[in-house]
Chains A and B, each alone.
Chain A
Amino acid sequence: MSETSKKVKTQIEAQSKKDNASQWRLMWNSFRQHRLAMFGGIIILLFYTIALFAEFIAPFDPHASTSKNVYHPPQLIKFIDYDDNGSWSYRPHVQLMKLDRDTITLEGKFSPVQGRKVYLKLFTKGDPYKMWGKFNLSRHLIAPVNPDERFYLFGADRLGRDMLSRTIMGTRISMSIGLVGVALSLFIGIILGGISGYYRGVTDTIIQRIIEIMIALPTIPLWLALSAAMPQDWSTTTRYFAITIILSLVGWTELARVVRGRFLTLKSEDFVIAAKLDGGSQWRIIFRHILPSMTSHIIAAVTLAIPAMILAETALSFLGLGLQPPAVSWGVLLLEVQNIRSIAAGPWLFLPGAMVLIAVLSLNFLGDGLRDAADPYARKDH
């Protein structure tokens, strides 16, 4: 072995352990630098946790109505409980409120009942529910000590149903419709985009023209037409799946374009040509060399596609053509605020809209961060 070879060897051996890092490690490192994306990621994780354990986290049955609590305003949790004689203890509670009617105008008004408090407790028994439609349970994350009492952190709607429980249940449908819809459009997108990018030529031209036509179609009328065509007697679950299919039929085009673009650039990369010269079959080149280089980009594209799905579902349901009550989604909840009376009586009914805002913003931040981190090998000096 020559002198220089020895030098090269010692140099390499001296290098630190972090050089062994795989692409996921590098991606994670650069993703962590993106503060806003980290923040968005945590929020999204929280939302999906809520969606997964919605029945347990919701304090009440979202469909249970109480006529005496119509348009009950939101209450604040107080943690320190003062006794009449001035001593205090740690007991989370809310102030009980009661509906009074103005004797002349008959206007309903909630006012606190002095000295009456609703005490709350973690992991206590409340309304019974079926976890994931299977297990009969009745413990909630937080519930009143006395199961007959109620509290309203997000207020109540026109039937006196707890908005917090309804928003939490809505999280499940709204957040999952994004995932399911995107999964479906990802499937169509990767296949058509991949074919388009790999085979080029006439196939590519045809697929690209189809995509352009799909993009040119006005989406809202298309959705309206498709959902209006749905039979009214379909069950909630069937409707849910039909809506996801409708949404992803339009949503796949963007993903197909991303995939095609990556295929085109990667196909002419030296390392792909090298793989071809190494004798690899077409399948091996696609699945071992091209696709692994794209996964990170695809993840980023998917994250950015979910908010569009959520917004689309909200829009459809808001127009009354998406999911139908008794199914609960953020869009369905916003149906309630279509008239001026609800806005005047209960502005807190807008809270599901705020959830849409937070979810969409967080997903966009997360997607931005993922996109920047997607290619840890991009040369920064060029």
Chain B
Amino acid sequence: MNNTTQKNTNPTVLEIKNLVTEFPTRKETFRAVDNVSYSLKAGKTLCVVGESGSGKSVTARSILQILDAPGRIVSGEILLHTQGGKTLKENPIDLVRLKSRSRAIRSIRGREIAMIFQEPMSSLSPIHRIGNQIAEVLQLHEGLSKKQAWARSVILLEQVGIPEPEIAAKRFSFEFSGGMRQRAMIAMALACNPSVLIADEPTTALDVTTQAEVLELIKSIQAERNMAVLFITHDIGVVAQIADEVVVMKKGKVLEKGDVFNIFKNPSHPYTQELISSARELDQPAIQRLEARARQKIGKPILIAENVRKEFVISSGMFGLKAKKVAVGLKDASIELHAGENLGIVGESGSGKTTLARCLQRIYDNTAGKINYTDRNGKSVNLGELKSNQLRPYWRDIRTIFQDPFGSLNPRMTIAKIIGEPMLVSGELSGRELDMRVEELLELVGLPASAAQRYPHAFSGGQRQRVAIARAIGPKPRIIIADEPTSALDLSLRSKTLDLLLTLQDQMDLSFIFVTHDISVVRYFCDRVAVMYKGEIIEVGDSETVCTNPKHLYTQSLLSAVPKPDPMQRSNKRIIYS
């Protein structure tokens, strides 16, 4: 291989020129990629950033000609300047000219240009061993024997940092964790030593700490092999951490491209400015919240959880003869929520944060512990021991906003019916009065009165979440438990939704319990935060203190893994907690 001579230079490996990709349907033609040009250089990372539907993935899929039907490339060139490790100086290969099922493009897929996807579970076959899947690539492209290929795949697994690669190679994809699967995917992509790696949101489905590991892995492999990386993401923080060059896309068009430091320093396009500023805005306390707290101090505790424990029954044993098998979802958690306070619960997936929130509201029955709620008249009740029909009045005081705005609204009811439901079933309002109240609630969350007669499918994610908020505040509650209400939304909508919640808090004397995995949201929205790890609360404190000066080693590792939306803050060493 002669790329040792090119180690310090960065020749252009892949060039996209004026690419146009369309999806023709019977009624109209949708132009998913509109005149896009960018180029990849060896050893450099190009990040394509944009919201969902911006055409960033379609561009990448056009390169390998793996577009979903009926998509097709209409015009433009995709020039590959390298083959088999050699630079093609005179006549590069135009990938657009190759037929999508031809032998020529097949020899380029996986060999010259490899791709990794967002969801490794669906990209890996569940019925073949990991080692065999990697070996198959080697047998096909490199013509190795079965034995040689297996040996190489074990080496590859070792290179991507999978412990005990000989044993891991014999496992199936479902036996791996999310991060491990993504590592295996990367090993498979690297099998033929490609000169270009396309990574399509490879870390979106992963926790922050795992994301940091995978990003580090890609970086180190890139440096080792002088590979060009095309990294597609919607997370501006990730861009700031790994990119050399940035392409900002919206609605199929390139809005801006350039060096990462320049773009973050002086973004020229208003959309880029908004993208960067909304990410930075979230990384500090909301001014609105600080002002409100200066006006009104936080009150006494109104919801106190003492040693709340939740066990999930996995198997009750055949006819009750064997001992029950249980999984502990929550280990003796204790927290307090004060009146007028925003309490954050933060943790990675599986840490028990949603379980805790659901126990507090008795959606789940807690196995042990007390949940003491002090009502408006100062009377205290233990919600943990009430029967479900006794809980109804308390469910009016403690309301919920769900994570998924698509699943939480009944698609067969109009917005007016959805919002009016709690007032109607309690017999509080009906008829004309109820319509008036619904209109008032819609006004409060910034939706027009005409929305009332529509069905949820007519609204976008952000608008639906506003409907969910209107439903939550309908019965004039005191506490709202919000379970990741912003994680399904695009970045630009997140701070707007959070601001709406803060405004409502001011108007209606609300207290929030805010469940999230996103530490920047905590800093913006929450006064205090509880950090959870494996079903336990490991640290509780003032959110600024926890975010800037965490005590527990896990919190430190979590914070160090969060990608900061500033390319100047890259050198921060990551803390690893095991």
Binding site for B on A (CB under 8 A): 1-2, 4-6, 8-9, 11-13, 15, 19-23, 26, 269-271, 273-281, 284, 289, 292-293, 376-377, 379
> Roughly how many angstroms separate A269 CA and B402 CA in the complex, as a whole number?
11
Partner of B392, one of A13, A275, A279, A289: A279
Residues from 366 to 395 in B contacting A, C-beta threshold 8 Å = 392, 395
Q: A13-B448, A15-B458 are in contact. Are A279 and B395 (CB under 8 A)?
A: yes
| Residues of chain B within 8 A of A22, CB atoms compared | 412, 455
In the complex, what residue of chain A is closest to B424 when comparing beta carbons?
A: A278
Contact mask B432-470 → A, CB, 8 Å, 1/0?
Answer: 000000000001011110110111011100110010000
A271 contacts B407, C-beta separation under 8 Å: yes
Alpha-carbon separation in the docked complex, A2 to B504 (Å): 12
Q: Which of A4, A15, A279 is most buried by chain B, counting CB atoms within 10 A of its CB?
A: A279
Residues of A within 8 A of B499 (CB): 2, 4
- Contact, CB under 8 Å: B406 / A379: yes
Q: Which single member of A5, A15, A284, A377 contacts B446 (CB below 8 Å)?
A: A5
- Chain B residues near A20: list those with CB within 8 A: 453-455, 458
Question: How far, in angstroms, from A4 to B392 measured CA to CA in the complex?
Answer: 35
CA distance A377 to B457 in the complex (A): 8
Question: What are the interface flags for B399-435 relative to A under an 8 Å C-beta threshold, 1 for contact and 0 otherwise?
Answer: 1101010111111100000000110011000000000
What A residues does B458 contact at CB under 8 A? 15, 19-20
B363 within 8 A of A: yes
**For the side of the interface on B, what is the size category?**
35 or more
B496 contacts partner chain A, Cβ-Cβ < 8 Å: yes
Structural contact, A4 and B446, CB atoms closer than 8 A = yes
**B396 close to A (CB within 8 Å):** yes
Please tell me which one of the listed residues B410, B425, B450 contacts residue A271 in the complex, with CB atoms under 8 A apart: B410
Is B446 touching A270 in the complex (CB atoms < 8 A)?
no
A5 vs B500: C-alpha distance when bound (angstroms): 9
Q: Is the CB of B457 within 8 A of A274?
A: no
Interface residue from A8, A23, A273, A277 paired with B466 (Cβ < 8 Å): A8
A277 touches B399 (CB 8 A): yes
Please name 6 pairs of A and B residues whose Cβ atoms are closer than 8 Å in the assembled complex, sorted by A.
A2-B499, A271-B411, A273-B363, A275-B421, A278-B422, A279-B422
Q: Are B363 and A12 in contact (CB under 8 A)?
A: no
In angstroms, Cα B463 to Cα A292, docked, is: 24
Partner of B448, one of A9, A276, A277: A9
Residues A280 and B448 in contact in the complex (CB < 8 Å), given A274-B471, A275-B410: no
Say yes or no: A9 contacts B457, CB within 8 Å: no
Q: Are B457 and A12 in contact (CB under 8 A)?
A: no
Interface pairs A-B: 8 shortest CB-CB: A5-B446, A19-B458, A270-B408, A278-B422, A377-B411, A270-B407, A271-B410, A9-B448
Q: In the bound complex, do residue A270 and residue B402 qualify as a contact, i.e. CB atoms below 8 Å apart?
A: yes
User: Closest CB-CB distance, A178 to chain B, in whole Å?
Assistant: 28
State A322–B130 Cα separation when bound (angstroms): 58
B548 to chain A, nearest CB (A): 29
Contacts of B363 in A (CB 8 A): 273, 276-277
A45 → chain B, closest Cβ, in Å? 26
Contacts of A280 in B (CB 8 A): 421, 425
B361 is an interface residue with CB less than 8 A from chain A: yes
Q: Which of B426, B443, B459 contacts A12 (CB 8 A)?
A: B459
Question: A13–B452 Cα gap in the complex (Å)?
Answer: 12
| A5 / chain B contacts, CB cutoff of 8 Å | 445-446, 500
Cβ of A279: which chain B residues have Cβ within 8 Å of it? 392, 395-396, 422, 425-426
For B392, the chain A residues whose CB sits under 8 A away are: 279
Distance (whole angstroms) from the CB of B481 to the closest CB of chain A:
10
The reply to whether A277 and B395 contact each other, CB–CB distance below 8 Å, is yes
Q: Give the CA-CA distance A278 to B408 in the complex, in Å.
A: 12
- Residues of chain A lying within 8 A (CB to CB) of residue B409: 271, 274
| Distance A160 CA – B425 CA, assembled complex (angstroms) | 68
On whether the beta carbons of A281 and B411 are closer than 8 Å, the reply is no
A278 engages B425 (CB within 8 Å): yes
Contact B446 A9 (CB under 8 A): yes
B455: A residues at CB distance < 8 A: 19-23
A6 vs B447: C-alpha distance when bound (angstroms): 8
Chain B minimum-CB-distance residue to A278: B422
Chain B residues positioned under 8 Å from A274 (CB to CB):
400, 402, 408-410, 471
Min CB–CB distance B382 → chain A (angstroms): 19
Contact residues in A for B451 (Cβ distance below 8 Å): 12
Cβ-defined contact, B453 with A271, below 8 A:
no
Known contacts A270-B402, A293-B412; is-contact A12 B421 (Cβ 8 Å): no
In the complex, what's the smallest C-beta–C-beta distance from A146 to chain B, in angstroms? 54
Once the chains are docked, how many angstroms separate the CA of A21 from the CA of B414?
Answer: 10
- Which B residues are in CB contact (< 8 Å) with A275? 410, 421
A6 contacts which chain B residues (CB < 8 A)? 446
Which residues of the other chain, A, contact B400 by a CB distance below 8 angstroms? 274, 277
Shortest distance in angstroms between B451's beta carbon and chain A's nearest beta carbon? 6
Contacts of B459 in A (CB 8 A): 12
List the B side residues contacting A269 at CB < 8 Å. 407
Q: Is the pair B361, A277 in contact by a Cβ cutoff of 8 Å?
A: yes
A277-B400, A279-B425 given. 19 additional CB < 8 A pairs?
A4-B499, A6-B446, A8-B447, A12-B447, A12-B448, A12-B459, A12-B463, A22-B455, A23-B411, A270-B407, A273-B402, A274-B400, A275-B421, A277-B395, A278-B421, A278-B422, A278-B425, A279-B392, A279-B426
